[in-house]
Amino acid sequence: MMARARDVILMVAALMAAAPAPAGAQRLSEIFKKANPSVVVVLTREKEIGPAGDAQPVSVAGVGSGVLVSNDGKVLTAAHVVQTADAIVVELLTGEILRARVVSSEPAADMALLQLERAPTAPLAARLGDSDAVEVGDEVFVVGAPLGMGHTLTVGHVSARRGPDAGASGLSLAEFFQTDAAINVGDSGGPLFNMAGEVIGIVSHILSHSGGSEGLGFAVTSNVARQLMLEEKSFWSGLSGYMISGDLAQVLNLPDPGAGLMVQRIASGSPAERIGLRAGTVRATIGDDDLIVGGDIILAVQGVSLADPGGYSLVRRKVRELTPGEPIVVTVLRAGRTLDLVGTAER
């Protein structure tokens, strides 16, 4: 009897060893094949201030990821990848390379929308899923360009759902998925897919002691991306800034009530450049932050002070409601003087 029982156990073990892999394991490769053509590599050029003592700007290359969300050439990516880029090109899985421009951006959610110069020859747009239906523990995968290696797949789970400012200063409008899927430099802007091949997030940033993928990864939820980029169409300024207040505002002699946005970089040909804003010129370390100082500090837009409670949100709304050709007034502190820069709204 003991021998017979042992034989049965051995037979079951042999059958299990010979059985095909679970359906889910087989399906991932097929899901990836269908989703991968919608993923793009985003290549940028922008001006960069050299090390301290070398104020001469140099042109540097950048790389990120994105996902095609319409067959006419709209691409979602991360704002920090393209916000101040002087030139942007997108490379598709087919090898086709197309120029792109930013049509909508919201740095406070790290989201941007690109428009390609024309529709891709063989477009295959991804579908945006409902991120509200995602649960902690759901299996997900990221396709991006870690360290420039395009169309790389990593797999993990939704580890948590986080609110604004999840480990990243200034992201006050974002909702995040935290994931343990490996994320590295170059993945920013790439899609976070569910197992139905739908985009449920756009990769934003990682928290890591080394800067590598052993840290925590965060992706802005697809519903936030849909709202800010496709429904509201947030205004692209072409500048990156650093919000200053408190002791630092006093050190920089900001007028009362003492808060403003220190302009760091400005993209060539952007609305920020056309209105006459000036970027920083010298690198400096203040506290734990590496900043570019010497540029304008934006105090108010359309008469709304950035120091007011809810000032940033009110400025967003006022600018979004402007019609093309309407005047727009930006109040800045420049070299110790307060002045108004006047331009016109554009789309």
Residues annotated as catalytic are 80, 110, 188
d(CA 189, CA 64): 6
**Cα separation, 15 vs 11, whole angstroms:** 6
Which residue's entry shows tokens 């890591």? Answer: 208
CA–CA separation, 163 and 104 (whole Å): 22
For residue 128, give the amino acid letter.
L
Instruction: List the one residue out of 101, 68, 31 whose CA is nearest residue 202.
Output: 68
* Pair type for strands 176-179 and 152-162: antiparallel
Query: How far apart are the C-alpha atoms of 76 and 189, rounded to whole Å?
Result: 7
SS3 for the chain, per residue?
A: CHHHHHHHHHHHHHHHHHCCCCHHHHHHHHHHHHHHHHEEEEEEEEEECCCCCCCCCEEEEEEEEEEEEECCCEEEECHHHHCCCCEEEEECCCCCEEEEEEEEEEHHHCEEEEEECCCCCCCCCCCECCHHHCCCCCEEEEEECHHHCCCEEEEEEEEEEECCCCCCCCCCCCCEEEECCCCCCCCCCCEEEECCCCEEEEEEEEECCCCCCCCEEEEEEHHHHHHHHHHCCCCCCCEEEEEEEHHHHHHCCCCCCCEEEEEEEECCCCHHHHHCCCCCCEEEEECCEEEEECCCEEEEECCEECCCCCHHHHHHHHHHHCCCCCEEEEEEEECCEEEEEEEECCC
